[in-house]
């Protein structure tokens, strides 16, 4: 009886409350129509992508190519009529690096050109070198003792050969309804994920020092088995939790296609001598250790000082040309703001695009932007993150900080939208456990349904530049994108090139991103925020 009455009251209330709560959210379908018209008929997204990847190439922070990319993007923003286009420092990054040349061959027992890439931040060889490769798997202190004094001037194969297997399922896929349903399921996060993995017995710095002291001429790795084969080579550098770019003078190190590497090992097994010839030229840049983001705006006209941001990261690894990771994100964000500018919008809030640096090494650009503009904890958790502690305590990235110390800008940013999961079209958005944005985004997605944008996932997603915003309680989001062949083929490999981006998907993505950003800019209120576990102090 009592229960029924309560139910009646709840029902009666909801009749009043629900329409009121929803009335603020009106997705302006007319505006989506205009965004669509510009974005489909006069898209520049593939031109942007081509220039960043084909002409400029891979973009390691601190390299001449990265500098060129930032200048080009800034000029492009200005050409499109954006205000305040700037290259903005984001704090210290470390050493820059570029590979200028690599050539690797087997010359005995028969000739073969070998597919290999320089590992980021390694030095070049002492000119063209020639020698017998030695398979020396060093993982323990005992291994070090076994090989001490035996590797002077050697070409060292550092991994066991890896058998490749035929692939029976297609690499590329779109999310099915079933997949999207699964993404919507929210795991209750009581247990930490299996973070960290096994600790190696020898620290990478220690091993690097050993190779250096031994006078090793060249280190050769086999491409990682987490990526596909057929000449796909994974080329990144995460030793020491991504500290490669802070330590100069690492031995020349290359990574070779698994098939080529295994062939050398098989010949050695047959006790037939192998001779390799190799030359690597690379440069470490130590003059300017600062990191730089590219920023540009459409100024707001009404809500003075308030801002909505969008972006992707302009840095990349160097095996391919960083096309899906993440020139796609830059091209989409640039295109989204270009569309809005071309439509002559007068947003209430400022719309600000950001192309981040140093994402691959640990969100240097976005972290730097957040602690420079918005704030950091009393322990400077964002400025000096302890990644090991974070892996152990992933539910609480603010670690044991006592408070968040913020700047006035902190209370002026409505939200940040990121694009960095390949070149697959947008299927929805991860809302990072922010229950309050669901009804808002649901409304905004209604006119975008027929473009495949249907899914809101409450669960947080990791691994990219929305996180520093999210850590300090600023609504920061990454879109749900179709995976296509991001894994296992493209991510961080030599196949991360223009050719493997999907043009239709990038056009769709720019239209969706422009719509979300526009709605955020025009909303009466800023986006609602999640509560933080520590107090906030404005400085
Ligand atoms: Zn990325």
Mean pLDDT of 123-135: 97
Q: Is residue 19 over pLDDT 50?
A: no
Give the pLDDT of residue 281.
Answer: 98
353: pLDDT strictly greater than 50: yes
CA of 421 to the centre of ligand 1 (A): 7
Strands across the sheet containing 350-356: 83-92, 290-298, 350-356, 307-313, 413-418, 476-481, 426-430, 455-457
pTM of the model: 0.94
The yes-or-no verdict on residue 186 having pLDDT over 90 is no
Tokens of 331: 């091209």
Which pLDDT score is estimated for 10? 43
pLDDT at 21 over 70: no
Of 17-21, 93-97, 149-153, 534-538, the one with minimum mean pLDDT is 17-21
pLDDT in tens, 459-499: 999 999 999 999 999 999 999 999 999 998 999 999 999 99
DSSP state of 450: G
Q: Is the pLDDT of residue 16 over 50?
A: no
Helix (H) or strand (E) holding 106: strand 96-108
- 508-533 per-position pLDDT tens digit: 999 999 999 999 999 999 999 999 99
Cis amide bond preceding 148, omega within 30:
no
- The region of weakest confidence among 23-37, 336-350, 517-531 is 23-37
pLDDT at residue 128 greater than cutoff 80: yes
Give the pLDDT confidence of 423-444 residue by residue, as tens digits.
999 999 999 999 999 999 999 9
Task: Determine the distance separating the centroid of ligand 1 and the alpha carbon of 14, expressed in angstroms.
Answer: 43
pLDDT > 50? residue 390: yes
Quote the ligand 1 centre to 485 CA distance (angstroms).
Answer: 14
d(CA 408, CA 537): 10
Per-residue pLDDT band for 248 (boundaries 50, 70, 90) equals confident
Contact 377, 471 (CB under 8 A): no
322 CA to middle of ligand 1, Å? 9
Q: Is the pLDDT of residue 7 over 50?
A: no
Task: State the distance from the centre of ligand 1 to the C-alpha of 105, rounded, in angstroms.
Answer: 32
Question: Residue 423 Cα, ligand 1 centroid: separation in angstroms?
Answer: 11
Q: Is the pLDDT of residue 421 over 90?
A: yes
pLDDT bracket for residue 192 (50, 70, 90): low
The CA-atom distances, in angstroms, between 290 and each of 89, 357, 387, 502, 538 are: 7, 10, 21, 33, 27
pLDDT band at residue 20, thresholds of 50, 70 and 90?
Answer: very low
Q: Report residue 364 CA to chain centroid gap.
A: 11
Ligand 1 centroid to residue 59 C-alpha, Å: 12
- The average pLDDT across 181-195 equals 79
Distance 434 CA to ligand 1 centre (A): 23
322, two tokens: 């960083």
Q: Does 12 have pLDDT greater than 70?
A: no
Residues whose CB is under 5 A from ligand 1 (ion)?
325-326, 420
Query: How many other C-beta atoms can be found within 10 angstroms of the C-beta atom of residue 41?
Result: 8
For residue 23, the model assigns a pLDDT of 52
């Amino acid at each position: 009886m009592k229960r029924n009455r309560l139910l009646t009251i709840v029902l009666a209330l909801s009749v009043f409350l629900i329409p009121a709560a929803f009335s603020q959210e009106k997705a302006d379908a007319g505006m989506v129509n205009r965004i669509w018209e510009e974005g489909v008929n006069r898209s520049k997204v593939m031109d942007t992508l081509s220039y960043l990847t084909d002409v400029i190439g891979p973009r390691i922070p601190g390299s001449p190519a990265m500098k060129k990319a930032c200048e080009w993007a800034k000029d492009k923003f200005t050409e499109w009529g954006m205000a305040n286009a700037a290259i903005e420092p984001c704090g210290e990054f470390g050493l820059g690096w570029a590979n200028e040349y690599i050539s690797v061959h087997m010359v005995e027992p028969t000739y073969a050109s070998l597919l290999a890439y320089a590992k980021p931040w390694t030095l070049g060889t002492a000119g063209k070198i020639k020698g017998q490769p030695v398979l020396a798997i060093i993982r323990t202190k005992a291994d070090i003792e076994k090989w001490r004094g035996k590797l002077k001037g050697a070409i060292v194969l550092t991994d066991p050969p890896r058998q490749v297997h035929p692939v029976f399922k297609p690499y590329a896929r779109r999310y099915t309804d079933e997949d999207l349903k699964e993404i919507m399921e929210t795991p209750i996060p009581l247990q930490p994920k299996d973070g960290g993995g096994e600790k190696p017995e020898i620290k990478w710095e220690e091993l690097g020092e050993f190779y250096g002291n031994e006078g090793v001429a060249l280190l050769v790795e086999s491409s990682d088995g987490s990526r596909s084969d057929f000449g796909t080579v994974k080329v990144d550098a995460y030793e020491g939790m991504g500290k490669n770019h802070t330590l100069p003078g690492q031995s020349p190190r290359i990574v070779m296609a698994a098939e080529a590497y295994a062939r050398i090992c098989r010949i050695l097994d047959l006790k037939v001598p192998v001779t390799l010839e190799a030359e690597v030229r690379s440069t470490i840049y130590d003059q300017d250790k600062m990191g730089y983001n590219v920023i540009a705006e459409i100024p707001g006209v009404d809500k003075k000082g308030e801002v909505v941001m969008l972006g992707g990261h302009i840095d990349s690894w160097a095996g391919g040309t960083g096309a899906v990771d993440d020139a796609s994100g830059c091209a989409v964000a640039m295109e989204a703001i270009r569309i809005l500018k071309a439509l002559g919008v007068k947003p209430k809030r400022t719309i600000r695009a950001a192309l981040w640096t140093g994402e691959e090494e640990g969100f240097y650009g976005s972290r730097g932007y957040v602690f420079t503009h918005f704030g950091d904890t009393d322990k400077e958790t964002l400025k000096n993150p302890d990644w090991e502690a974070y892996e152990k305590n992933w539910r609480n990235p603010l670690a044991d900080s006592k408070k968040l110390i913020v700047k006035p800008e902190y209370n002026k940013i409505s939200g940040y939208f990121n694009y960095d999961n390949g070149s697959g079209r947008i299927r929805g958005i991860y809302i990072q456990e922010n229950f309050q944005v669901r009804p808002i985004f649901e409304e905004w997605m209604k006119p975008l349904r027929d473009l495949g944008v249907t899914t809101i996932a409450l669960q947080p997603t990791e691994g990219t530049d929305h996180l520093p915003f999210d850590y300090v309680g600023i609504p920061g989001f990454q879109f749900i994108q179709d995976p296509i062949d991001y894994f296992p083929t493209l991510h961080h490999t030599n196949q991360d090139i223009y050719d493997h981006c999907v043009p239709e998907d990038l056009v769709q993505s720019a239209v969706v991103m422009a719509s979300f950003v526009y709605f955020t800019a025009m909303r009466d209120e800023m986006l609602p925020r999640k509560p933080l576990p520590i107090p906030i102090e404005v400085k």
